[in-house]
Chains A and B, each alone.
Chain A
Amino acid sequence: MASAVPYNPDDFENNNPFAEPCYTDDPDYEQDDENGISEQQYDQDESANENADVSNMGKLTEAELRKLLPERYTDKYSIQIRLVAIEKNKVGNPILRFDAALKGLPRFRQAKYKEVRRTYNEVVKFNKYLTISNLEVFVPVIPGAVTSYPSGGDEETKQLHQVWQEWFDRICSNPILVRDEEFVYFLESDFGYSVINSNRKSSVASGLMRKTLKQLAVPYDPYDELAEFRPMIKSAYLECQKLYRSMDKNSKTEKQLSIHVFDLCNKLSVLAQSENSHPGMKNMWEKLSKIVQIQSDLLLIESINDMGSLGDGIQCLVNDFYQIKEALTNRHLIMRELTQAETQTQTKHQNATRIKNKSALDPIKVDEAIRSLEYATKTEESLNLQVKRISGEMLFERKEIIQFTEKKFQKLLKNFTLNKVDHHRKNLKNLENIRLDIRIVDQKGGLSRLNRDNLTTLKHNLSQSQSANGDSWSSRTFRSLKKEEEERENRLEKEEEEAEITKLNEDDDDSKNVVDARNAATLLGVATF
């Protein structure tokens, strides 16, 4: 929101003959310097937009958005990163190997980067840098290198591959992040990577200062969506944290349970050994012991799977939500700075007016007053634009986040459900194996006979309830696992095809790269240090 009394240079007639005519300069140059293309447009629409903004009670118009966030309205630039492999390294710090393909981005020497190797910690540094330097973006947090699956296992690698690929996709799909120059260093650096623009410190308050500022009342927010977004994200963050804790507890309890069940299995086998009087009983106890053992194993697996499929994802969401919350806090802080700048401008303005109204004018004082007023106005302008840009971008980001969360929850729950179904199906199959052993303990045939003594010759109809054509206990024909498997197969086939095609293409590229002298020349022509 603009200051209550907008600074109009015409208010103060510059009668200082020594003053430089510099006030006509556009103050948002320093803000949007990276965006050279649309600078011209800015200049033209500047004043008009400002008026519209005022009339609109601080809300951004489409045109203004276009101007403030040109990145959002162009698809000229893109980076595509494909995670190829995760190489084993120190514990918790694996190496990510990925290919990158660029489009339309300046300052990159190549359009393709193959086999870029970055350790996880380097990626985390890069991630942190992005967070600090892009205040307007909800930068996704890279999921941790440690999963709930046993470390070094296939499942872990698979999961990490999946979540990191997702993270890369999110980073690259953001038009503002793609334009960050740090990307160049991140991709091009030959041996390892460290943040180059590290001198760019966080521009917002941190530490104790931040804590104190957070205690203050939230500044007025013209955007209802964003005003409501922070409390929601905050409670989502807290709830997810709670959920994660419960899930963790659940998993631990389940592990403990599996230990107890295993204990039960041991006790049963001892009991079976001591049962000598009746072979049927002995057999029953032995079989039961086996079944129970498998049950215990299944429980253990389930406890891990639960955490892996849902818990880890929830943890990612927790991190993300936290980051979003912080970004929104930053916005508030900047908005507060803006209000401060406004008051400053106001005081400066009053000061200048007072001096102007004085009978005896000291030209030096007047000049200073006007100069400081101008400066304050410029700061205010710049902050105002920054706030606008942040707000505008966050409006976009908010939608994306909601969409992402939606998808993420769906994916997580799908995965979780599939795992659960799988677990219970295995359990069921396991339990059904023992039925006959119990019924043949003695001649009576157990409870299934229900006192029908003469039915001893009757066959036990103990077929497995889960046959290929559906479950016997329900009429449903749909089975999640089956469908899932089909899909997986389809996907695999597709991927294979794609892989073959891309391989062919890559081969072409490689041959081109090797032969293309011009490419070599461009490469040589640019200094790599």
Chain B
Amino acid sequence: MEQDDLTASVWDDVVSPHSEPATYGNVASSSSGPLAAEFNDMSIQDEQENEDKESNEDTNHENYDHHQEEQNRPYDYNHNEDYHYNTNSSFNTNSNTFNTGKLKKEERKEHTHQLLSELTQGAEDSELLRSGTVSPKAVTSAEALFNDKDSPIKMNKAALAESENLKSPRGKIKLKTSSFKTPRPRKFNAKVNVSHLQGTENSEKNPLGPLGSESDDSKGDKASVISSSRAEILFREAEAPLYEIQHNSKTSPQKPVSDEQKNGEDARDDLNQLEITVGDPMKVGDITTAHIVYAIRTKNKNPNATSFPGATDEFITVSRRYKDFRWIYHQLQNNHPGRIIPPPPTKQTYIGRFNENFIENRRLSLEKMLNKISNISVLSNDADFVMFLTSEDFINESRERERLSGSGASTQNNDFLDNATTLGDDGAASTASLSSSVSTPIISGGGSGFMSSLFSISTKINEPDEYFSHKRQYVDELEYNLKQFYNAIELVGTQRIDMIGVLDEISLAIDELANLEISKVTTELLSAFSEVQLKIKENLDRINLQDQLTLGFTIEEYLRIIGSIKFVFETRSKIYQQYYNFNQELLKKSSQLDKLTRKYKAPVDKVNSLTFEVDKLKQKTSAFENSFNSISETIKEEMENFEYEKIEDFRNSVEIFIESSIESQKEAIELYETFYERQNLASV
């Protein structure tokens, strides 16, 4: 408890002299006396932190949340952060190094205990803990993140430079991950790296990083600047381990690893409940770099959500361009293999990019995409997604993330996204897509050479699960039909547009005829008729747009979703191939080993190396098998969802289509009836 006292005293020391220049305090508007408020906050914090210290084991949500809120309040304003800066720096000068040493030791002990007892994550986590130098520095990042949620300060150069230091821990983790699952390592890596970024100086050697800051990366970036003061970090470390662990348990389900975790999610109350709107499309840039920027306004309705920065009932507005939407799509695809990610709208040819209709259409699709993503809890809590919604410095951050995760999201080939509308010849396109779906696994399997490509053919034939070949066929068929459907609707649409033009001509001609004033009656009659034609034209125009927006939009969206599904299938078959290849190799090696062992005199080192290889292969194989099984499970689940949503979406759009058609017919009837009545045509 020494350090408790210490910290308390430090707080007192620090706070009292530094809160004198009350400009900072003034900003904390919540309470009457700025100074008092500051003090209050501080004291509460202290108490709580102390409490937390004492009761390491019983991590209790409420307490945590409460604490968080308390902490949030003073940090809502930048000044306050600066304020803390000051305090910390002063702290640094006053009572520095010996403190840290002590703290570290104590911390470490407690921490390891805690982790060992609390972590139920699986062997790898504890392994990590044990093998790595268990230092509480990771905690720093987590804590720091917390404190600086709303900081607009961006990751600075120092932070970026820091990332170079990440290499060593990364290596360490990579070792782990190799025994881990394939889909995951990437993800894991990303997290680790990101957390390192956040941890900055101190987190270099900290393998706990990944555990500590799964969901808080976005905040971490901002933290990096602040945490430049070492003392502060140490200070935070000293009091924070508990949260770190809590965090850990909360963020871990983000990995779509097992069903248990997913089920666990439902019970959790810190999930993001996002309310997202996309609006204000604006053209920016000069001629060469012109593009449209959309403003995304996000509100988190769940006050308990931890992974989302900012207070509830407060809109966070960021601006993103279309490219960024694609980026997040691919990033999510890479982060969550097996999930069908709601896709962004198709790319548009250069011409007509700034067409008003097109932009509106795209805006709608983008909004729908984001909302769909946020409706899937796994995705809505994804760190990348949150970053996408909130980050102020998206370009750098996204680049960094992409690099770290190795997803290559920005350069990823996304033909299927664009295929949807550039269908062209139906037959040819469909066969092409079919053949590509057949050929892609071969190509992807080709990573390990010619042999594997041969194998891949055989794997293609031996689809282990009837369900998937079935589904694949179904999806292909559905895609083809929907494309046809879409084509037909498009044709109808263009034809209608032609007709609208002709109707306009007719109305004009009639109007001119009316202007000739052949006789009073004729003039009246004809001008009324011209008006009717004009209204009919508008009616047709409206219904046409409506159809395009309901049926056309839905079909197009589903074509893109089918693209996502296909991608998921491909990912799965890739994994299967790898699994298959390794399995084959394993069989080969083990038979070799058998032969060797059966030999009377086998060279020991050879046997050893072979057994080693076999072991390794076994590990790999089982890893791939696991990931394959899990992805298969996920896909099945997703497919079921897809079916369900498909029915609902299509039913709804068809219903809207019918209802709007009915309304337009009624309007047309009404127009003609009124014309008939007004012009007294009955008496003619």
Q: Is B280 an interface residue (CB 8 A)?
A: no
CB proximity to B under 8 Å, residues A367-425: 402-403, 405-407, 409-411, 413-414, 417-418, 420-421, 424-425
Residues of chain B within 8 A (CB-CB) of A428 are 662, 665-666, 669
Q: Are A417 and B522 in contact (CB under 8 A)?
A: no
Q: Are B673 and A232 in contact (CB under 8 A)?
A: no
Among the 9-residue stretches A24-32, A194-202, A248-256, the one with 4 or more Cβ atoms under 8 Å from chain B is: A248-256
Q: Are B666 and A473 in contact (CB under 8 A)?
A: yes
**Residue B502 contacts which of A250, A264, A446, A480 (CB distance < 8 angstroms)?**
A250
Q: Are A240 and B651 in contact (CB under 8 A)?
A: no
Given the known interface contacts A253-B498, A264-B489, the answer about A439 and B655 at a Cβ–Cβ threshold of 8 Å is yes
Q: Is B359 an interface residue (CB 8 A)?
A: no
Q: Is A284 an interface residue (CB 8 A)?
A: yes
Q: Are A264 and B505 in contact (CB under 8 A)?
A: no
Given the known interface contacts A406-B519, A414-B681, A428-B665, the answer about A447 and B499 at a Cβ–Cβ threshold of 8 Å is no
Interface string of A244-274 (1 = CB under 8 A from B): 0011011001101100110110111011001
Among the 9-residue stretches A154-162, A178-186, A429-437, the one with 4 or more Cβ atoms under 8 Å from chain B is: A429-437
- Chain B nearest Cβ from A499, distance in angstroms: 24
Residues of chain B within 8 A (CB-CB) of A263 are 488, 491
Given the known interface contacts A274-B477, A424-B669, A474-B670, the answer about A480 and B676 at a Cβ–Cβ threshold of 8 Å is yes
Given the known interface contacts A235-B516, A249-B502, A476-B673, the answer about A431 and B647 at a Cβ–Cβ threshold of 8 Å is no
Residues of chain A within 8 A (CB-CB) of B650 are 281, 284
Q: Are A417 and B519 in contact (CB under 8 A)?
A: no
- Chain A nearest Cβ from B648, distance in angstroms: 7
- Chain B nearest Cβ from A340, distance in angstroms: 33
Closest A residue to B499 by beta carbon equals A253
Q: Is B521 an interface residue (CB 8 A)?
A: yes
CB proximity to B under 8 Å, residues A214-239: 232, 235-236, 239
* Cα A151 to Cα B407 with chains together (Å): 68
Q: Are A284 and B651 in contact (CB under 8 A)?
A: yes
Given the known interface contacts A256-B495, A406-B522, A432-B662, the answer about A274 and B481 at a Cβ–Cβ threshold of 8 Å is yes
Closest A residue to B520 by beta carbon equals A406
Residues of chain B within 8 A (CB-CB) of A239 are 509, 512-513, 516
**Residue B521 contacts which of A247, A256, A406, A483 (CB distance < 8 angstroms)?**
A406
**Residue B518 contacts which of A236, A291, A435, A446 (CB distance < 8 angstroms)?**
A236
Residues of chain A within 8 A (CB-CB) of B513 are 236, 239-240, 243
**Residue A278 contacts which of B519, B643, B679, B681 (CB distance < 8 angstroms)?**
B643
Closest B residue to A255 by beta carbon equals B495
- Chain A nearest Cβ from B188, distance in angstroms: 37
Q: Are A425 and B495 in contact (CB under 8 A)?
A: no
Q: Are A267 and B665 in contact (CB under 8 A)?
A: no
Q: Is B682 an interface residue (CB 8 A)?
A: yes
Q: Are B665 and A417 in contact (CB under 8 A)?
A: no
Given the known interface contacts A243-B513, A414-B684, A438-B651, the answer about A260 and B506 at a Cβ–Cβ threshold of 8 Å is no
**Residue A405 contacts which of B522, B656, B673, B681 (CB distance < 8 angstroms)?**
B522
Given the known interface contacts A274-B477, A424-B672, the answer about A480 and B495 at a Cβ–Cβ threshold of 8 Å is no
Closest A residue to B677 by beta carbon equals A478
**Residue B682 contacts which of A257, A264, A484 (CB distance < 8 angstroms)?**
A484
Q: Are A405 and B477 in contact (CB under 8 A)?
A: no
Q: Are B506 and A250 in contact (CB under 8 A)?
A: yes
Chief secondary structure at chain B's binding surface: helix
* Cα A508 to Cα B656 with chains together (Å): 67
Residues of chain B within 8 A (CB-CB) of A257 are 492, 495-496, 499
Q: Is B661 an interface residue (CB 8 A)?
A: yes
Q: Is B423 an interface residue (CB 8 A)?
A: no
Q: Are A270 and B481 in contact (CB under 8 A)?
A: yes
Q: Are A421 and B502 in contact (CB under 8 A)?
A: no
Residues of chain A within 8 A (CB-CB) of B487 are 267
Of A260, A270, A407, A483, most B-chain CB atoms within 10 Å: A260
**Residue B681 contacts which of A232, A249, A410, A439 (CB distance < 8 angstroms)?**
A410
Q: Are B495 and A246 in contact (CB under 8 A)?
A: no
Of A409, A471, A480, most B-chain CB atoms within 10 Å: A409
Would you give 30 A-B contacts (Cβ < 8 Å), ordered by A?
A232-B516, A235-B512, A257-B496, A261-B492, A264-B488, A264-B489, A264-B491, A266-B488, A278-B643, A281-B651, A403-B519, A405-B519, A406-B519, A406-B522, A410-B681, A410-B684, A417-B675, A417-B676, A420-B672, A421-B676, A431-B661, A432-B662, A435-B655, A439-B655, A441-B651, A442-B651, A448-B655, A480-B673, A484-B682, A487-B682
Identify 7 new A-B residue pairs, CB closer than 8 A, beyond the known A405-B522, A442-B651: A239-B512, A247-B506, A278-B643, A406-B518, A410-B679, A421-B669, A428-B666
Which residues of A does B touch, CB under 8 Å? 232, 235-236, 239-240, 242-243, 246-247, 249-250, 253-254, 256-257, 260-261, 263-264, 266-268, 270-271, 274, 277-278, 280-281, 284, 288, 291, 402-403, 405-407, 409-411, 413-414, 417-418, 420-421, 424-425, 427-428, 431-432, 434-435, 438-439, 441-442, 444, 446-448, 465, 471, 473-474, 476, 478-480, 483-484, 487
Which residues of B does A touch, CB under 8 Å? 474, 477-478, 481-482, 484-485, 487-489, 491-492, 495-496, 498-499, 502-503, 505-506, 509-510, 512-513, 516-519, 521-522, 525-526, 529, 643, 647-648, 650-652, 654-656, 658-659, 661-662, 665-666, 668-670, 672-673, 675-677, 679, 681-682, 684
